[in-house]
Structure 1
Amino acid sequence: MSRFGGLGDMVMLTPILRGIKTLLPETKLIVVGEENARALMEGCPFVDEYLGFDKSYKSSWNIIKKIWRADIVYLMDTLYRISIIYWLARVKKRIGFPHKRKFFLTDLISPKSWMDYAYEPVVYADFVKDILQIDITQIPDWDHLFYPEGSELEKKNVNELLKNRLYDDFIVCSLETGGHAKDWPIEYWLDLFRELEELEKSVVIIGVPSKKYNDIEFPSNVVDLRGKTNLLEIGEVIRLADMVVNGCSFPIHVANAVDTPVIGLYGSQPDWRGMPQRIFASIHAEIECSPCDYLFKGPGWCENPTCMKQISVKKVITEIQRCYDEGKSLGEYRLITGENDG
């Protein structure tokens, strides 16, 4: 399996990997992707081996040696260079979208009309059904995401980092997502944090060190853990949280995997593609052109998006308060298949 994208994309891949291993237990399942996803993928008991690719000669040669004359590789992305690696490795069946690399593939796949309106794992599962002739959607709870637990030391580290928070109740967020069009404005975040301080709720910010927001003075209820946790420790922070409030990004998918309530903020990104199957609240930008980023045929987002600015702090704080009032409910289950929901 070949998948390059954000960490959230890798979390959404976990039901597919688990399903393949469940129905084809004798298959050696190797995943190839970004190096930053290694801890996540190696923590999955249904993945036999993870190979990171950083475009270097060393990683290219390592992949060729590891998958030499493998039976099948499913390319779940449109990268050109990695398709050459699989061709050089003489993989017998190389299946994926053509996208300028048709020469290096043996079998081509095409999107179906309903896929623009479906939850991404549903799309992945349908392609796997075509490619491997197995239907992982027949497995009970097939679509539940997986996120590995941290070690005892990592859990201890997280407890140490959280012990000095101002209030016991805490909400997790990240200030930046994988694309600027999905980011809620920083001034909105700061207003939200101040509102939460009045409600005696702490905020824990996760993620990598910021390129834009390093010199901000946060309210006293904020614990800034950016750059202070590894991938599995982030998962432990989210497991302990009351809820996650975020744009469509990695923290939302981790929360989905560990059954932490989610309040999702959606502008250019359609919520039906990546929101949790159980989500407490999905808050949409109230603007005519939103959403615009469709999976296969859409234009993507505009150069100067304004959609996320349409989501008010008042609306978000109302949903946070409602979540607490209702006992931190996960929300009703709904799997969006596209065929019935589009």
Structure 2
Amino acid sequence: MKHPLPARPEHIGVLRLSALGDVCNLVPTIRALQRQWPEARITWIIGKGEHSLLAGLSGVEFIVYDKSSGLAGMRQLWRQLADTRFDVLLHMQQALRASVLSLGLKADLRIGYDKARAKDAQHWFTHRQLAPHARAHVLESFLDFARLMGVDDLSLEWSLAVPEAARQEAAGFTAGAPYILMSPCANPRLRNFRNWSAEGYAAVVEHAWMQHGLKTVLTGGGSTQEREMGQLIAARARSGAVIDAIGESSLKGLLALIDAAQAVIAPDSGPVHMANAMNTPTVGLYATTNPDRAGPYRWREFVVNRYPQAVSEYLHKAADSVPWGQRVRHPDAMSLIRADEVIECLEAVLALPAPHQTTEPADET
């Protein structure tokens, strides 16, 4: 017997801890739930860094869980929510740690992924599962939770909060000059292999500067790999063309930089999805991951997509024959992307009418 869905939920819990791109892709589902049930309370259990990006999201109460805190952190969160009971808990994190965390939460109904999409036996921890949705984009997989609950309006809305302090931080880097934003590195995890070459990036920087008078703002974290990549790009670019902000901005400051950029160029990483959320034209660089599943949703037609070729060359299979979400973990895969392809896509997005960018003010708290 299926557990019944609440006709009018009063308190909706959302469990999604990471990552930056994924939480951006989840926001339209939050907005859809808010439109359907404007009086409902929404509590989102989220990771620490992800919260710093989405803080101020209207109508959402955040409970921050430090993913490095282990069992002690779980127990602390359970105590914090000991008197809270959700009408429905949307278990949107396909990871054993999140499923264990969910055990200490009180909920009348727990909804998770269908067996095909669930990882780490997540379906054992939920009462109801989503309807199968083969070959779904990550954003559509999140919207499937709203679909199951009977939400009518699934139109895309983000309205992320960007505080004035973040806009001032961003302006401090650019001094009012027009620019494109380039985030050259993905998360420096082991065997990630999502980064393109410094030579390729520098060629795009040169084109933007010489053909359009656009500076390139480089952004990223403070890791040695990212800083070295920024230095290599800047060394190959014409003097004055690069503003190196790698490791220097806050996440809200990065959001403000993205919001004011003419375009964003990045591999499969948080910034392409942040740019998608801000409706900033985005050129995604994809070879090791499938952009049909994880590309910038509103800008997928401008992705430089070498994933099928990478699957063929390094996995010796056809792209439509490998599991959905299959990664190509080969250090040479991103070298399949050519600078002229990236420049062509950049030209295409720069020729578009300026998109309407919707953000909302936020407190400094």
TM-score (norm 2): 0.76
Partners of 1:145 and 1:256 within 8 A in 2: no
Counterpart in 2 of 1:255?
275
Partner residue of 2:362?
A: none
Moved more, 227-236 or 315-324: 315-324
Does structure 1 retain, via aligned residues, the 8 Å contact 2:90–2:111? yes
Structure 1 residues 330 and 184, CA gap change in structure 2 (3 angstroms): farther
Distance 2:181 2:122 in 1: 43
Tell me which amino acid in the other structure corresponds to 1:65.
R
Report the residue type matching 1:229 in the other structure. S
1:122-137 alignment, distance < 5 Å? 122-130=140-148, 133-136=149-152
Task: Report the CA distance shift for 1:270/1:9 in structure 2 as closer, same or farther (over 3 A).
Answer: same
Q: Which runs of 5+ in 2 are unaligned?
A: 1-13, 357-365
Alignment of 1:289 with 2:311, yes or no, is: yes
- Return 175-184 or 228-237, whichever deviates more: 175-184
Q: Alpha carbons of 1:323 and 1:108: their partners in 2 closer, same or farther (altered >3 Å)? A: closer
Distance 1:123 1:102 in 2: 15
1:222 and 1:76, CA in 2 relative to 1: closer, same or farther beyond 3 A?
A: same
Distance (whole Å) between structure 2 residues aligned to residue 37 and residue 244 of structure 1: 20
Residue 179 of structure 2 corresponds to which residue in structure 1? 170
CA distance in 2, matches of 1:59, 1:196: 47
Tell me if the contact between 1:155 and 1:233 (Cα under 8 Å) persists in the aligned partners: yes
Asked if residue 53 in structure 1 is aligned to residue 62 in structure 2, the reply is no
Partners of 2:166 and 2:45 lie apart in 1 by 26
CA distance in 2, matches of 1:292, 1:71: 44
Structure 1 residue 13: deviation in Å? Answer: 0.6
Which of the residues 74, 81, 84 maps onto 2:97?
A: 81
Deviation at 1:129, TM superposition (A): 2.5
CA-atom RMSD in angstroms: 3.0
Aligned CA distance change for structure 1 residues 235 and 213 (closer, same or farther; 3 Å): closer
Contact 1:175/1:205, CA 8 A, preserved across alignment: yes
8 Å contact from structure 1 (residues 280, 330) kept in 2? no
Give the equivalent residue in structure 1 for 2:54: 41
Change (3 A) 1:173 1:328: farther
Matched, 1:115 2:115: no
Partner in structure 1 of residue 252 of structure 2 = 232
Q: Is the 8 A contact 1:35 1:54 kept in 2?
A: yes
Does residue 201 of the first structure (1) align with residue 214 of the second (2)? Answer: yes
The alpha-carbon distance between structure 1 residues 63 and 41, as it changes in their structure 2 partners (threshold 3 A), is farther
Using the aligned pairs only, state the percent identity. Answer: 19
Structure 2 letter corresponding to 1:77:
Q
Name the residue aligned to 2:298. Answer: 277
User: Is the 8 Å Cα contact of residues 261 and 279 (structure 1) preserved in structure 2?
Assistant: no
Structure 2 partner of 1:64? 78
Count of aligned pairs = 318
* Displacement after TM superposition at 1:108 (Å): 4.6
Amino acid at match of 1:46: G
Whether the 8 Å CA contact 1:279–1:330 is kept in 2: the answer is no
